[in-house]
Amino acid sequence: MFILCLAAIAACTMDDKLNTCVKQEESIESYISKKFADSTVVVTEHGISRIVMVHGGGAAAQKGDSVMFSYKGYFFSNGPGTQFAEGRIKERLGDRHMIDGLDEGMVGMMRGEEAYIAFSARYGFFDKSTGAVNPMTPLIYYVTLENIYR
């Protein structure tokens, strides 16, 4: 009986977390539709949004490609809020070395492209606390794709 109660509590907690993510995704979608109505916006199958600020050129990055990029990470609060991270790294797309939102959001970017990539906590750190990022925090990154290595 005790185990069933714990399972029920955990299920409610997970449902609450997923409902929070849905609300975050709706907030991100509303922000983009108001602020970037005339911009190129790419939405992935999981609802991660890439708002292209500067178009790039050449072949698009694909899973399995390594990409060199610089980034600034912000808490999403009706747009970019407080900056919590900044850097420049090289990673292979699809290897899951990055948070899912960045990994999936960068697929399709071209060399020289600059874009905001916004996503709910579901594709960020979810219910984990990492550095300055609290659990269940939606994020938005400004990414500049410097190079693609096949």
- Residue ranges covered by each domain of the chain: 2-149
Residue 48 has what pLDDT?
Answer: 98
Q: Per residue in 114-124, pLDDT tens?
A: 999 999 999 99
Q: Are 107 and 93 in contact (CB under 8 A)?
A: yes
List all residues 6 or more positions away from 93 whose beta carbon is below 8 Å from its beta carbon.
61, 62, 63, 64, 65, 66, 67, 103, 106, 107
CATH of region 2-149: 3.10.50.40
pLDDT tens, position by position, 123-140: 999 999 999 999 999 999
> The whole model's pTM is what?
0.91
Distances (CA, A) of 42 to 33, 53, 126: 12, 12, 22
